Chains A and B, each alone.
Chain A
Amino acid sequence: MKKRNQVLSLALAGAMSVSLLAGCSSSAQGGGTSSGSSAAGGSSSTAEGASSGEEDNVIRVGVIGPRTGGSADYGEGAQNAVDMAVEEINSSGGPYTIEIVNGGEVADDAQDAKQAMNAYNLVMADSPDALVGSFFSSVTLPMAQQAAADNMLLLATGATNVDVTLAGPTIFRDCFIDPYQGKMASLFVQSEGYTKVAVIYANDDDYSNGLKDAFIENCEAAGIEIVYEGQCVTTDTDFTSQVSQVVASGAECLYYPCFKDTVPLLVSQARAAGFTGAIMGGDGWDSSDITGLESQFENCYFTNHYSSEDTSPAVVNFVTKYTERYGTETLNACASLYYDAIYMLYQAAQNGGGTDTASLVKGMTGMTFTGVGGTFTLDENGDPAKQIVFNTYVDGQVQWFETLGPDGEIVAQREG
């Protein structure tokens, strides 16, 4: 009974704040785009009115991520990063504090769409103000639809599929989108001077399809020939058939936009089949385990959200603190995205002047944010235009290669 009352009061508060915000929508939009204290000051009276009796300056956040399954170390990184961000924010003495619902735990989606809805319901039972997650597009898509229907703020982390933020105005993300990543990969192919490329993608996965489509489209537009297009499914372990055809097709470069748990298998089988060209992937390659495959991973590249070798202060700060507390094993892009997400919510509360869902949505719309993933502004869909990092492997270690800006310009490049 008590719980029901709580939910009811929250719903009422939400409804009140929505109706109040409707009255000053023009000023809200103006305040949303320019981050900082002026916006917060402009709408602070609204927020106080909306949440009288309810406002405790605590942002209650539900976090969802892959804690088990083939990408469990992403979830581990997410949990660590969220713990770290929350601790930093709560000890900073700022106007708001953050509480992670579900007992501080990242709810497990097991990289599975059905499990994701269980995780969604689990965190929603604690009536949060906002949700963060999840990392995979196929998992996040159904959650985004439900969150849009529930009028809940969902800040997706690694879900790069275009459709995620199109589900509704309360859905945002802090990562780039699939077509962008595929396009950047094709620009890279162009700059390396390859003329024949092959693609192997997982046809049962939204992410893989998204990257493949954009890659092929941009390659063809640039006059690069796609000599082989092969399919697999995400659970495959045998790629001998596909890689033999890649070798037979005479491709100079193989694009494999799939997830890290199968990347070592594909690369080792491609090399065993005699493929010596470049093998490229997307952010799904991040923190692939390449133990014992150091030589096979020479001449492999992948796009990513950030590089731990980047020298910007935000990255250095994050990497140093994270490594001190948790080591480098789970220091992946996933961790950085969840870390940024928590800070984005904090900034959204400041921008929007409140910790209820409506204020957070208002604060987040059109926000400009600087974090581990660089400085970016959310567009009308809630997608950021971000820089992209190219990594390669040297002696079995991931090495930062270059960083490209949103229009393909080189932002920074490894010296020498």
Chain B
Amino acid sequence: MTFSLFFQSIVNGLNLGATYALIALGYTMVYGIIRMINFAHGDFIMIGAYTLFYTVPLMVNNGMPAWLAVFAAIVVCAIVGVLVEIFAYRPVRKAGPMSALITALAMSIFLQNLAMVLFGARPHNVAAIFSLPSVTVAGVTISLNVVLTIAIGLAIMLGLQLFVKKTKLGKAMRAVPQDRDASTLMGINVNKIITVTFAIGSALAAVAALMYCTTYPRVTNNMGTTMGMKAFIAAVLGGIGVIPGAMLGGVLIGLIEVFVRLFAPGWYEAVTYGTLIVILLVKPSGILGRNTGEKV
């Protein structure tokens, strides 16, 4: 393998990985707070992507930069996330983790079919959001879009980490999973915290949609399924519930996929899913996860 191909693959892997990482952040946020895996998270990205598909042309027609559409996507995703939490997850929250999981799966299917009815089954091309040029360094073509994607991913992870560690709301978010009843006694409105968590997690999905559509400008009603699964693996690999873990897991999965495809193109999905099995066998809490010996 030549150096340029190797370097190109690193860039490709980081690009794919940054998108996975941002989606994984959404999983991790929700899991970290209410110990629930929100399988509908991938479909929030689909909703974000459809919002972009409809709002980017609006922005461009009104003479505004196309990336402003991401704010519309963030608002729409946050609203959908909160609604899903209030109407689907909250009623079953006391019924145990299995009910919550099944509700999340059902929600995923519901959102996909709703999108099919509303927007049609046909894939749509999302108009170019960033039109940055490509630069060629040492025989490697790097699209500046990719650099931007990676930078956005890193910035958001950093911001999120600061938010959770430094703010009062963040502190409350960390308190809720430790002891829900005690948090209530300390004056924390648990329902409000969970709602805020969903709003943030879903807003991240909107940003992930932006990043995804920059590289893969196509939106379909079932785009969230595979992406959601890959990001879920990334979250588990890095340590679900741990914010830097999601980032690490995402980048690793992205690199693994790209490099496996270089040598054995047909095997990359097997290797990705195999990674999940290996990590569950070797270190179930993930690379950065703490071993708490929690009963499941």
Contacts and interface: CB of A to CB of B under 8 A. Distances in A.
A272 B16 contact: no
Contact of B116 (A68, A231, A265, A293): A68
B262 A231 contact: no
A248 B258 contact: no
Contacts of B126: 292
Contact of B125 (A231, A241, A248, A289): A289
A17 B262 CA distance: 59
B97 interface: no
Interface in B105-164: 116, 120-128, 134, 136, 141, 143
A244 interface: yes
In this complex, the interface size class of chain A, counting residues with CB under 8 Å from chain B, is: 20 to 34
Given A241-B258, A245-B5, A261-B220, A289 B12 contact: no
A166 interface: no
A69 B220 CA distance: 9
B181 interface: no
B265 A273 contact: no
A264 B218 contact: yes
A42 interface: no
Q: Specify which of A230, A244, A292 lies most central, judged by the most chain B CB atoms within 10 Å of its CB.
A: A244
Interface residues of B, number: 37
Of the listed residues A232, A240, A248, A292, the one surrounded by the most CB atoms of chain B closer than 10 A to its CB is A240
Contacts of B191: none
B217 A238 contact: no
Contacts of A274: 134, 136, 141
B265 A231 contact: yes
A272 B134 contact: yes
Given A69-B121, A248-B4, A272-B141, A238 B257 contact: yes
A292 B131 CA distance: 11
B291 interface: no
Contact of A72 (B122, B134, B143, B215): B122
B103 interface: no
A118 interface: no
A268 B5 contact: no
Contacts of B215: 238, 269
Contacts of A68: 116, 121
A273 B142 CA distance: 7
Contacts of B128: 292
Contact of A244 (B9, B120, B124, B220): B9
A233 interface: yes
B226 A242 contact: no
Contact of B217 (A72, A235, A241, A268): A268
A41 B226 CA distance: 59
Interface in B1-43: 2, 4-5, 8-9, 12, 15-16
A244 B265 contact: no
Interface of B: 2, 4-5, 8-9, 12, 15-16, 116, 120-128, 134, 136, 141, 143, 215-218, 220, 223, 226, 257-259, 261-262, 265-266, 269
Interface of A: 67-70, 72-73, 203, 230-233, 235, 237-238, 240-242, 244-245, 247-248, 261, 264-265, 268-269, 272-274, 289-293
Given A241-B262, A244-B8, A265-B216, 7 more contacts: A233-B266, A235-B226, A237-B216, A240-B12, A264-B218, A273-B141, A293-B217
